[in-house]
Amino acid sequence: MITHLGIVGAGQMGCGIAHVSAQAGYRVTLYDLSSERIEAGLATINGNLARQVSNGKLTDEERREALSRISGSTDINDLAPADLVIEAATEDESVKRKIFSKLCPVLKPEAILATNTSSLSITRLAAATDRPEQFMGIHFMNPVPVMKLVELVRGIATDDTTFRAAKDFVGKLDKTVTVAEDFPAFIVNRILLPMINEAIYTLYEGVGSVEAIDTAMKLGANHPMGPLQLADFIGLDTCLSIMQVLHDGLADSKYRPCPLLVKYVEAGWLGRKSGRGFYDYRGDVPVPTR
């Protein structure tokens, strides 16, 4: 039974998972190498919970209780009591493998290990651990407190007990589960990222400006956010990483990352988090960069 959750990575995704898990009654240990990231993450969680209080979705007592269930740590050994540990580090396979090599000796034998990867092979990541049968993909959508979907992805070795425990855990977070097979980028990003990449090609080829493309998709396809605005929100480095996983894994030219996307990432224009992407966020109002 899962009562204590460990999370590796106090970034946007890790903090979002900590938020919804603590709110659902789980005890959470949020681990990161950086104490500054942990402090910033806990402040963000507090701010998001406070917003839920002001919207009438939570009482102030529930907010305080949720916060009291989360502890931050820069010592990986503090994850030892966890029943389930979710890795939510950067979308880089070598980084994730290094984390698992340090994490596995710390965990109790029965602990389940999961990754929040949005595109990488669950089977391959599981093989880098000492417990492939107790390993699976639990892919949350961003922003975690708002988005209702979680993709569950089994590796070739994942056993039924692990899958049932993960499904039960996600159900208690009041999220909807969709089960995806272990193919590059699973379901959501297999469909979403090529659409974003195509929007970038449409910009690259001069078919329309940033504003024209986003307006066209918002009003013409009823999307809540334009594809270029969404790319900035996801992070252009993450978009490129997922397109490269699709291109390498499926060997189909339709997944070739747009050269303009590559150029923006090389420039360090990664979207909202860096202040510039397809929009410039450094002023009061985002301004298209093309």
The reply to whether 182 sits in an annotated binding site is: no
For the chain, state the CA radius of gyration. 19
Query: Which residue ranges in the chain fall short of pLDDT 50?
Result: none
The reply to whether 39 sits in an annotated binding site is: no
Q: What is the pLDDT of residue 139?
A: 98
Q: What is the pLDDT of residue 184?
A: 96
pLDDT tens, residue by residue, 44-87: 999 999 999 999 999 999 999 999 999 999 999 999 999 999 99
Q: What is the pLDDT of residue 35?
A: 95
CATH superfamily of 190-288: N-(1-d-carboxylethyl)-l-norvaline Dehydrogenase; domain 2 (1.10.1040.10)
pTM to 2 decimals?
Answer: 0.93
pLDDT tens, residue by residue, 1-12: 999 999 999 999
The reply to whether 12 sits in an annotated binding site is: yes
The reply to whether 273 sits in an annotated binding site is: yes
The reply to whether 14 sits in an annotated binding site is: yes
Residues involved in catalysis: 118, 139, 151, 189
Centre a 10 Å sphere on the Cβ of residue 88 and count the other Cβ atoms it contains.
26
Q: What percent of the chain has pLDDT over 90?
A: 99
Sorted by where each begins, the domain ranges of the chain are: 4-181, 190-288
CATH superfamily of 4-181: NAD(P)-binding Rossmann-like Domain (3.40.50.720)
SS3 at position 138: strand
Q: What is the pLDDT of residue 23?
A: 96
Q: What is the pLDDT of residue 286?
A: 96
Q: What is the pLDDT of residue 52?
A: 94
Q: What is the pLDDT of residue 154?
A: 98
SS3 at position 88: coil
Q: What is the pLDDT of residue 178?
A: 98
Closest residue by Cα to residue 48 from 8, 19, 73: 19
